[in-house]
């Protein structure tokens, strides 16, 4: 599904990604861990096509197609979902209306007409039941006064509605309380399927107690320095990151 070869990328002429190789097959959940500043968020942003980042080498193939010429919206319409690290508040726009707008924007990009209201409401009902989202939540103003857990719930709900082929969940360095963590984990576990893949970027070994990844990668200084299975996450929890860091050549 996703094949990254020797990816190099800069922010403002500063080299951040220094040759990343990563292959994600349908149905797999990959976790990327690593110390702060190692380039994890840069990797997710480059895959999603954010414009502040410049790819300086390598390739990103999604279902065999080179993504480099596509803007973030086009990538989203191909089935790549990137969770918002900083959700926007939209006073006066309800969660339901936001979901309608998201779905219809995707359909429009594929040359499809708006989804009939009846079908949309059924989909909203089905997905909100699956994720145990209550009705009151659906009529609230988007992100306004949402707790950390509610923001995550909204994000996972949007992910469920859009049903992406590849979901990239990049957790911010701070602020995920245990409720929010469980919302993310339950959602991801319920939405996991043989066709969809997840790239989970996290500082929290804790999250991996709830979402069991197929593969764990450690990123240090713009490179993946170690890959393994979930056991690697436990090892990192016990030993920290120093032992996986490559020798410093000063």
Does residue 225 touch ligand ADP according to CB under 6 A?
A: no
Choose the binding region for Mg ion from 118-126, 134-142, 166-174, 221-229 (rule: CB under 5 A): 166-174
Q: Cα(first)–Cα(last) distance of the chain, in Å? A: 38
Task: Name which of 14 and 118 has its Cβ closer to ligand ADP.
Answer: 14
Encoded tokens for 239: 């030993």
Does residue 110 touch ligand ADP according to CB under 6 A?
A: no
Does residue 220 touch ligand ADP according to CB under 6 A?
A: no
Task: Report the distance separating Cα 2 and Cα 91, nearest Å.
Answer: 36
- Asked whether 122 and 164 are in contact (CB, 8 A), the reply is no
Choose the binding region for Mg ion from 28-36, 72-80, 94-102, 239-247 (rule: CB under 5 A): 28-36
Q: What is the DSSP string of 142-196?
A: ETTT--HHHHHHHHHHHHHHH--SEEEEE--SS---HHHHHHHHHHHHHH--SS-
Task: Report the distance separating Cα 170 and Cα 20, nearest Å.
Answer: 17
Size of the site for ligand ADP (CB under 6 A): 13
Does residue 42 touch ligand ADP according to CB under 6 A?
A: yes
- 182-186 long-range contacts, CB within 8 A, separation 24+: 182/210, 183/149, 183/152, 183/153, 183/156, 184/152, 184/156, 184/210, 184/211, 185/210, 185/211, 186/131, 186/132, 186/210
Does residue 174 touch Mg ion according to CB under 5 A?
A: no
Does residue 82 touch ligand ADP according to CB under 6 A?
A: no
CB of 18 to ligand ADP, least distance (A): 11
Among 3, 11, 78, 90, binds ligand ADP (CB under 6 A): 11
CB of 97 to ligand ADP, least distance (A): 32
Angle at 182 between CA 75 and CA 38, to 5 degrees: 55
The sign of the CA dihedral 14, 202, 154, 116 is positive
Task: Name which of 36 and 249 has its Cβ closer to Mg ion.
Answer: 36
Does residue 143 touch ligand ADP according to CB under 6 A?
A: no
Task: Name which of 34 and 187 has its Cβ closer to ligand ADP.
Answer: 34
Does residue 19 touch ligand ADP according to CB under 6 A?
A: no
Residue 66 binding partner per list Mg ion, ligand ADP, none, with a CB distance cut-off of 5 to 8 Å that depends on partner kind: none
Does residue 41 touch Mg ion according to CB under 5 A?
A: yes
């Amino acid at each position: 599904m996703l094949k990254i070869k020797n990816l190099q990328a800069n922010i403002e002429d500063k080299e951040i990604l220094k040759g990343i190789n990563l292959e994600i097959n349908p149905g797999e959940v990959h976790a990327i861990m690593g110390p702060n500043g190692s380039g994890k968020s840069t990797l997710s942003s480059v895959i999603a096509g954010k414009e502040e980042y410049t790819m300086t080498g390598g390739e990103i193939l999604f279902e065999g197609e080179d993504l480099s010429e596509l803007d973030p919206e086009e990538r989203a319409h191909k089935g790549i979902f990137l969770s918002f690290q900083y959700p926007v508040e939209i006073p006066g726009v309800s969660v339901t209306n936001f979901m309608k707008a998201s779905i219809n924007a995707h359909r429009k990009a594929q040359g499809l007409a708006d989804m009939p209201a009846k079908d949309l409401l059924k989909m909203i009902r089905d997905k909100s039941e699956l994720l145990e989202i209550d009705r009151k939540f659906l009529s609230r103003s988007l992100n306004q006064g949402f707790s950390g857990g509610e923001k995550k719930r909204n994000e996972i709900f949007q992910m469920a509605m859009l049903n992406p082929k590849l979901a990239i969940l990049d957790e911010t360095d701070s602020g995920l309380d245990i409720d929010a963590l469980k919302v993310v984990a339950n959602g991801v576990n319920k939405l996991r399927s043989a066709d969809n893949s997840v790239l989970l970027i996290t500082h929290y070994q804790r999250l991996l107690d709830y979402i069991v990844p197929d593969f764990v990668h450690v990123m240090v200084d713009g490179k993946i320095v170690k890959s393994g299975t979930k056991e690697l996450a436990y090892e990192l929890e016990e030993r920290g990151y120093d032992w996986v860091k490559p020798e410093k050549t000063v």
